[in-house]
Structure 1
Amino acid sequence: MADMNITQDKNPIPAGFKLTEIGVIPEDWTYDSLERVCPPGKKYGIVDGPFGSNLKTEHYKKSGIPIISSGFVTTGQFLANEYIFVDEEKFRQEKRSAVAPGDIVMAKIGARCGASAILPIKHEIGILSGNALKITVNKNKHETYFIWQFLWDLYSKGKFEDITAVGAQPAISMPHLKKLLIPLPTKSEQTAIANVLSDTDALITELEQLITKKEAIKTATMQQLLTGRTRLPQFAKHSDGTLKGHKPSELGAIPEDWQVVPFKDVLTIKHGKNQKEVESPSGQYPIYATGGQIGNATSFLFDKPSVLIGRKGTIDKPRYAETPFWTVDTLFYSEIKKDFCVKFIYYKFCMIDWMQYNEASGVPSLNAHTIENVLVTLPNLEEQTAIASILSDMDDELKALEQKLAKIRDLKQGMMQQLLTGRIRLPLEQQP
């Protein structure tokens, strides 16, 4: 026990740490209230937006000073696609609620109150909406990104509930927020921690953007290949080398060698069953419902590749199942005839707006007969298989990117828990 100190309540405190009213922190760290990390003498270092009676729709303009709303920050990134504005006169009247580039903007009211993001440095000065608040950090002594990451970590763990008042809507208590105690390493260590976390955030953003780009490419590829607007080279020409043309059909112009058939010529829609018949924690077969897997089964209902689609509820999100499975009665599965590529049929299902076939005024509902009578355009089996292979490769690439993104997010969460508490200290050479 030479490297441990013992507190009065017998809980060991590691050497180099101290027990404070906010818990165990490194002995060379301090802590203080959030309002004291604001610039000294600044009257509105932490402030909320104007009362509703002071900022009404009648004050909104098409240009001027942008209104910064809580909805812009609920993801942890500042995302604003469209602004409303106030004029200079209204801004001067409510200047206490001004928010500047580099300030932390936080949702004050609503289900996601406590979520926050930093107003980008290149953003212009704005005015808070009534459902938002802002925190200005004293940049001479503290690193804004460090303070924001600590606040975001608290929010992510649900710890803002302690300073949230519950009324018609949840709302952050301004007095409690100002008195919130936070751990404070030196500014150089704050900056080092912020840089590491910021670099990880940049990687996450880069991956998110790449996934969005890949998804857009896949969507465009599906629209081209699954309709025959674009043909794969090996299917685009006749044996004499001339290009294949198009022909009219019930569904518009289609490739001359494609056909239009109802789904009943391709598959049979089947109903799921009650999972209680087979449900078991030790079961080896997944039990699927409209929302995804809900358990495991001791036996399977179907053991061939199949297209699944909701009978009730989520009717617009088809899924592909390749291994043996069980489905509940709110989910259809399909038996595809041997002359068709199951994966291709799945992608055709994904192209259909199934909500147009909804047969209920309440919970969306599909009828097996309706599905089987939907018309679909089809190439021959060889072309179906080739198209499905290309789209499947795109899916595999997207899945790999999403798994990588999930791992990096988990890594960042672990880094935050260690770095923001001082459990892991960065090497001195990483500190400015």
Structure 2
Amino acid sequence: MARSLSPEQIPLGWSYGLLDNMVERVSGHTPNKSHPEYWNGGIKWISLSDSSRLDNGYIYETDKEISELGIKNSSAQIHPAKTVVLSRDAGIGKSGVMAEPMAVSQHFIAWKCDNTKKMNSWYLYNWLQLHKREFERQAVGSTIKTIGLPYFKKLTIAAPPYQEQCKIAEILSTWDKAIRNTKRLIENSKQQKKALMQQLLTGKKRLLDDSGKQFEGEWTKVELGKLLDYKQPTSYLVKSTEYSKGYSTPVLTAGKTFILGYSNEDFGIFNEKLPVIIFDDFTTASKFVDFSFKAKSSAMKILVAKDGISTKYVYESIQMLNYPVGGHQRHWISIFSNLVIGMPCKEEQRKIAAVLNNLDSENKILNKQLKDLKQEKKALMQQLLTGKRRVKVD
């Protein structure tokens, strides 16, 4: 981004140069933590703990606040609303726009845009988003990676006239709104499923059977080890980790990543008695799997439901268990196989699993919509923020 552009690469009417020449750049500071009077004074202060609030447009809340005394006795400053911030440490390249006056820690760079008509806050925010991977590449350090301050002194940008910036920002805000709404729907869907699980998997809410009558009868308490057989993943471990999206067989982990990549190995593929549950013996994380796969870790157990048992029902019941993970031990055999869940009849298991499956399907559709919206916005950003596609300004 700091390289020079040839004249023919600069769109007609656009300017190109140092970002510092178009907008005021400021850095942050942390008041002395040994002085409690410098803290909790009502001035919102963006710190590393706010990383999850970035990349979502406006920043409304912060984990910590500082006081007027903290401002007076440190290099921290209160920046005006619509100041754009970018993380140069943890969550490198994440950015946001202040919804109200705030201060920032030294882990951030900020640009005050509204004191001049040279740079629109939302144009700059979107430009930072478009170049996020470049910022990530600039981070250096062995233990904690960071972007040094000198880099930002040389940061260059191509920008259209201010009114065109505003128009571009307005267009992109339509996608931002759709993305926010979809994220909200996804969160609502998750909360709805969680509440329903609390009711259905404890028997507090009973569904209707095929004849339209509410299920009745007591549930039994059964150990997980009596409901599920386990298989070691040894025969299904991937040999090569040279993954490619062009390959057909997913390589799984029970952790958050789930699909590590895709393998072209045509041997040792698990495709028997699907669906199954994969269970990380060390972390106790688990995933429901209804497709063929290979495994990455020997610490993963493959759990197969016994005849007449709904795999989905047992999987969702496992998610309800609140067992604290302790020590570097094999949790399935020593602990989890002995844990007890409530079990209704086979038909009620099936009905409960079907209801939860429907909610999962809705969530998948919403996540697909979210992914599509993000891709559409990125494609539009690449057109609008480079001048390849121009907008009409009233």
TM-score band w.r.t. shorter chain: 0.7 to 0.9
- 1:405, distance to aligned residue in structure 2 (A): 0.5
* 1:125-164 → structure 2 map (5 Å cutoff): 125-137=101-113, 138-154=115-131, 156-159=132-135, 161-162=137-138
Is the aligned partner of 1:367 residue 2:328? no
**Residues 101, 348 of structure 1: alpha-carbon distance in 2 compared, 3 angstrom cutoff:** same
Question: Conserved in 2, the CA contact under 8 Å of 1:73 and 1:117?
Answer: no
Highest relative contact order (Cα 8 Å, sep 6+), 1 or 2? 2
5 Å-filtered alignment, 1:280-319, equals: 286-291=250-255, 292-293=258-259, 294=261, 295=263, 296-298=265-267, 300-316=269-285, 318-319=286-287
Q: 1:385 Cα deviation (Å)?
A: 0.6
C-alpha deviations, 1:40-75, integer Å up to 9, x for none?
A: xxxxx322123x5x5434143332433232543563
Whole-angstrom CA distance in 1 between matches of 2:143 and 2:337: 48
SS of residue in 1 equivalent to 2:40: coil
After superposition, the Cα gap between the structure-2 partners of 1:390 and 1:276, relative to the gap in structure 1 and judged at 3 Å, is closer
Q: How does 1:326-405 map to 2 (within 5 A)?
A: 326-327=294-295, 329-356=298-325, 361-362=327-328, 365-368=330-333, 370-405=335-370
Q: Does 1:177 align with 2:152?
A: yes
After TM superposition, the structure 1 = structure 2 runs for residues 180-329 of structure 1, keeping only pairs within 5 Å, are 180-234=155-209, 256-275=217-236, 286-291=250-255, 292-293=258-259, 294=261, 295=263, 296-298=265-267, 300-316=269-285, 318-327=286-295, 329=298
Deviations 1:335-366 (A, max 9, x none): 3222222221221122223544x5xx23x532
Deviation at 1:223, TM superposition (A): 1.1
The answer on 1:33 being equivalent to 2:18 is yes
**In terms of Rg, which structure is larger?**
1
Q: Distance in 2 between matches of 1:81 and 1:236?
A: 53
Q: Which amino acid aligns with 1:261?
A: V
> Structure 1 CA distance, aligned partners of 2:45 and 2:251?
48
Stretches of structure 1 that go unaligned for 5 or more consecutive residues are: 1-18, 39-44, 245-255
269-278 or 408-417, which moves further after superposition?
269-278
In 2, Cα distance between the equivalents of 1:323 and 1:373? 27
Matched, 1:66 2:27: no
For 1:218, give the aligned amino acid: K
- Distance across 2 between alignment mates of 1:277 and 1:116: 38
Give SS of 1:228's match. Answer: coil
**Equivalent position amino acid for 2:305 in 1:** I
> Residue 99 of structure 1 is aligned with which of 57, 61, 79?
79
Of the structure 1 ranges 402-411 and 371-380, higher mean CA displacement relative to structure 2 is found in 371-380
How far is 1:142 from its partner? 2.8
Match of 1:134, SS?
Answer: strand
Q: Kindly indicate whether the alpha-carbon contact (under 8 Å) linking 1:315 and 1:355 is maintained by their aligned counterparts in 2.
A: no
- Report the CA distance between 1:118 and its aligned residue: 0.7
CA contact (8 A) 2:277 2:311 kept: no
In the TM superposition, residue 424 of structure 1 has moved relative to its aligned partner by 1.7
Over residues 359-399 of structure 1, what are the superposed CA-to-partner deviations in whole Å (9 max), with x where a residue is unaligned?
Answer: xx23x532336433221211101111111000000000001
Aligned mate of 1:48, from 5, 10, 27: 27
Q: For each residue in 1:139-193, what CA deviation from the matched residue of structure 2 results, as whole angstroms up to 9, or x when unmatched?
A: 4233211122112322x2224644x564874444434413421111112211111
Classify 1:415/1:365 alpha carbon distance in 2 versus 1 (closer, same or farther; 3 Å). farther
Matched AA of 1:132: F
Residue identity over aligned pairs, in percent, reads 23
Quote the residue 1:406 is aligned against: 371
Describe the superposition over 1:228-278 as per-residue Cα deviations: whole angstroms up to 9, x where unpaired.
0111244999x8x9x96xxxxxxxxxxx52111222332212211244688
SS of the equivalent of 1:414 reads: helix
Structure 2 CA distance for aligned equivalents of residues 365 and 231 of structure 1: 35
Q: Secondary structure at the match of 2:16?
A: strand
User: Mean Cα displacement is larger for which, 27-36 or 366-375?
Assistant: 366-375
Unpaired runs of 5+ residues, structure 2, are none
Distance 1:323 1:169 in 2: 39
| Contact residue 14 and residue 161 of structure 2 kept, 8 A | yes
RMSD over aligned Cα atoms? 3.3
Whether the 8 Å contact between 2:85 and 2:111 is mirrored in structure 1 is yes
State the match for 1:16 in structure 2.
none
Indicate if the aligned counterparts of 1:283 and 1:297 stay in contact, CA closer than 8 A: no
Contact 2:83-2:97 at 8 Å conserved across structures: yes
Q: Displacement of 1:134 after TM fit?
A: 1.9
Is 1:62–1:84's contact at 8 Å kept on the other side of the alignment? yes
Question: Which whole-Å CA distance do the structure 2 matches of 1:400 and 1:85 have between them?
Answer: 42
Given that residues 44 and 61 in structure 2 are in contact (C-alpha distance below 8 angstroms), is that contact kept between their aligned partners in structure 1?
Answer: no
C-alpha separation between the residues in 1 aligned to 2:310 and 2:42? 57
In structure 1, the residue corresponding to 2:26 is in which secondary structure?
strand
> Does the CA contact (< 8 Å) of 2:44 and 2:62 recur in 1?
no
